Chain A
């Protein structure tokens, strides 16, 4: 089967049960998407599928064919410039251990593009699908607000 990830096509041979998350990590070598629970309970595996933030641990790889998958590795520009959300996470120290961070960033991009980032309360609610055990939540909210304004401007 073939998967479209970050603009590239990957031909992979997979078990029918393989999730998109395991396909990315174990077969394609994109380990930025993280496994925190494997049951849709933490958000660490969040990727964008056709622009929509979804959980790669509850998505079958076979069902992801013909869809455009964006992972954390696909956000920075080829010249190395970070996506505004990535930069905002650094600017606001919106992570500690960093393990939930790729999922937080992709979820945050989804949150902004869905129009759910108008207020801090909205961000808190719509970012609640991403657990951060280090509890960098206040800084995550600040980062999303910064990037929201930059994404609108850019």
Chain B
């Protein structure tokens, strides 16, 4: 699949089958809600039906009368048992700054306002529906960015200015100016938001799917006002996350309090609909893009301004102009980001959180420029390719963008494309081909790992990092096997538990880039213990035998390039986040790729299908082409979905989500996906991190929506700048 430029290995770079494959195909893999605890009571949330106002009164009589109800938590009944703590964006832990059941104030539709605890799930559900709430509505409501009562604020620190954009744009012989938008979207991992809490004397164990168990642990300790050493959070398997499970949410403290009140384990599995406001989401964005170029397509002026919806309580913005401004050579750049505060729940992270919407805007605008110039869109990227980013003049650690374009174009057979829109019709189907650049910043963060080598050749690796489906167990086993010269089958791995050495949040496509170096460092320490520092892996087991030592266990922590030394204590407090990308003083580091799609639109009935997609990605070293292939292909399908399917629909009257279920919030099904090809372009980058890994989890999403929009233009001659693109838009 991929040629590996790092030294050939029997383990690294090999398509090793998944470590936990058997557990997952037999049902033995225990996800958080699968853990069986004795005498478990069941919790069910009651969510607000209004978006802004106050609770005047609860009538709980009917709910309490349901047989089997044990307890009902509201802001009136739990008092101050949960403390106010800052949100993650203010240096805290939780995904929004509201105190769970903190007051009678309602700040968004779908806010948890009561928790029923009952002997059975059925009783809890019935009682939750019997809760009667009297609300007092606030007179004004902002459901979306266009609402008059929404408040816009420019985020000055994100403003970028190079050269003189206005003058250069005015002077440019060729110009493109357009507005773009993307809708609210929800991660919708298949596993719902589950939490189980059990207290044993004063110690709390939390079973919860998480991308960052230590964030949950330390944040919960702060909320509950207890020592973090009394809390253990376990997340052995996560049933998909995609950003939704990155940080502590309001539910966890509620379940912990409920379990403490009734002295029994409590289990919550939020419903699919409730899940739409339990955690963050990809908020709506709007974009204004202006491009100026010469007649050869060389960019002389680039402006990208973004607006992102946020909540009134928390100013959250992904602000990916920091990337779109740095992708192509251009001497005059102006970029800025605004938040638009509304009465909605606080947004958060969703796979390629800012990269997806900002790439949609820029890469569609580039296609518009290519069309204006009558230039092949690949060639437009080629003439603007660069080795240094244009804002600060910093070098890319490596950049294989055009090789990705060339390989993907060849695999796609792009040369057969006729440029005139509508020129590739096939019977009743309008056919369009489009392409776009994919990019994702290369991040890493502080992480620790422990490696134990036994004289019998068995190795155990442990880290609090996470298996989300990306193949973390498998790849960490491969790294240790490679370093210690043992077969991968001899390696066992533990992940997802705060009792293990702490690791970075499993986000920002940074897990492998962060934890693999920690494992390598622990293996170095084993070498040193054996007195074979610098020896080849093949020499380790003989040295182990010669030493007569039964077991060597070593712990190591690593701090990637650009991470300040004093940040290491954050690793031990659940505060390690990805660093890198465009935020380094001396360089920029990106994985890059090229996306190609074919769309077919029925001439009469207008349904839009994507029968074919090809992506080529250069993402540094590929530890496991099998699992990485899954990340790329899955990401590309996410991209198709982001363009054509996913749209959280909002009723402006109460800022509610009216399609918060899997029948109406459309995700692709098997029949939507026919031929998706991911090409791994070999790339060696020894600067990014010791493992040479750039991260693959999110780049597959980026650029697909633009490629589809560009292909729709090619098929129909209609430029669609607002996602999702649905059949009524091409009629």
Contact = CB atoms under 8 A, between A and B. Distances in A.
Nearest to B20: A98
B141 interface: no
Contacts of A133: 188-190, 240, 242, 667
Interface in A112-154: 123-125, 127-141
Nearest to B638: A135
A10 B13 CA distance: 47
A81 to B, nearest CB: 11
B21 to A, nearest CB: 4
Contacts of A17: 122
B151 interface: no
Given A99-B189, A132-B190, A135-B633, A93 B17 contact: yes
A39 B663 contact: yes
A72 B22 CA distance: 12
Contact of B120 (A15, A38, A44, A131): A15
A88 B222 CA distance: 46
B25 A93 contact: no
A131 B667 contact: yes
Interface in A72-121: 72-73, 75-76, 82, 86-87, 89-91, 93, 95-102, 105
B661 A33 contact: no
A71 interface: yes
Contacts of B672: 137
B134 interface: no
A22 B641 CA distance: 31
A99 B667 contact: no
Interface residues of B, number: 62
B634 A134 contact: yes
A124 B673 contact: yes
A41 B663 contact: yes
A33 B238 CA distance: 15
B395 to A, nearest CB: 34
Interface in A4-28: 15, 17-18, 22, 25-26
A36 interface: yes
Given A99-B31, A141-B670, A90 B26 contact: no
Interface string B452-470: 0000000000000000111
Nearest to A107: B670
A100 B271 CA distance: 16
Contacts of B237: 97-98
Given A36-B662, A97-B189, A133-B242, A138 B28 contact: no
A5 B547 CA distance: 53
B239 A97 contact: yes
A2 B161 CA distance: 71
Contacts of B29: 98
Contacts of B668: 135, 137
The prevalent SS among residues of A at the interface is loop
A20 B469 CA distance: 27
A49 interface: no
A130 B638 CA distance: 16
Nearest to B67: A15
B122 A105 contact: no
Taking residues whose C-beta sits less than 8 angstroms from the other chain, chain A's interface range is: 35 or more
A44 B120 CA distance: 22
Contacts of B663: 39, 41
Interface string B235-279: 001111110000000000000000000000000010110000000
A37 B272 contact: yes
B634 A136 contact: yes
A39 B192 CA distance: 13
The prevalent SS among residues of B at the interface is loop
Nearest to A100: B190
A99 B670 contact: no
A37 B661 contact: yes
A53 interface: no
A42 interface: yes
A30 interface: yes
B21 A90 contact: yes
B674 interface: yes
A96 B634 contact: yes
Given A38-B272, A42-B190, A99-B240, A18 B671 contact: no
Given A32-B26, A99-B31, A138 B269 contact: no
A137 B613 CA distance: 14
A82 B24 contact: no
B469 A32 contact: no
A52 interface: no
A31 interface: yes
B422 interface: no
B670 A130 contact: yes
Interface in B1-50: 17-18, 20-31, 33-34, 36
A91 B22 CA distance: 11
Nearest to A22: B121
A41 B661 contact: yes
A98 B272 CA distance: 18
Interface in B470-488: 470-471
Contacts of A37: 272, 661-662
Contact of A86 (B17, B26, B674): B26
A44 B662 CA distance: 12
Contacts of B223: none
B547 to A, nearest CB: 37
Contacts of A98: 20, 23-25, 29, 237, 239, 469
Contact of B671 (A125, A132, A135): A125
B192 A36 contact: yes
B361 to A, nearest CB: 24
A138 B633 contact: yes
B27 A36 contact: no
A93 B18 contact: yes
Nearest to B624: A93
Contact of A34 (B28, B188, B191, B641): B191
B25 A137 contact: no
A15 B124 CA distance: 12
A95 B631 CA distance: 11
B316 to A, nearest CB: 23
Given A90-B18, A93-B18, A124-B674, A39 B272 contact: yes
Contacts of A99: 31, 189-191, 239-240
B512 to A, nearest CB: 14
Interface in B622-648: 626-627, 629-631, 633-634, 637-638, 641
A119 B52 CA distance: 53
Contact of B673 (A89, A95, A129, A135): A135
Contacts of A18: 120, 122
A105 B189 contact: no
Contacts of B121: 22, 26
Contacts of B240: 96-97, 99, 133-134
Given A36-B190, A37-B661, A133-B242, 15 more contacts: A15-B120, A15-B123, A22-B122, A31-B34, A33-B27, A38-B272, A73-B26, A76-B26, A82-B26, A95-B24, A97-B239, A105-B25, A133-B189, A135-B637, A137-B673
30 contacts: A18-B120, A36-B190, A36-B272, A37-B272, A37-B662, A38-B271, A39-B662, A41-B272, A72-B26, A75-B26, A86-B25, A86-B26, A87-B25, A90-B21, A90-B22, A90-B25, A93-B18, A93-B626, A96-B240, A96-B634, A97-B237, A97-B238, A97-B239, A98-B25, A99-B190, A102-B27, A130-B670, A132-B190, A136-B633, A137-B637
| Closest 5 A/B residue pairs (Cβ) | A32-B27, A99-B239, A96-B469, A97-B469, A98-B24
Interface of A: 15, 17-18, 22, 25-26, 29-39, 41-42, 44, 71-73, 75-76, 82, 86-87, 89-91, 93, 95-102, 105, 123-125, 127-141
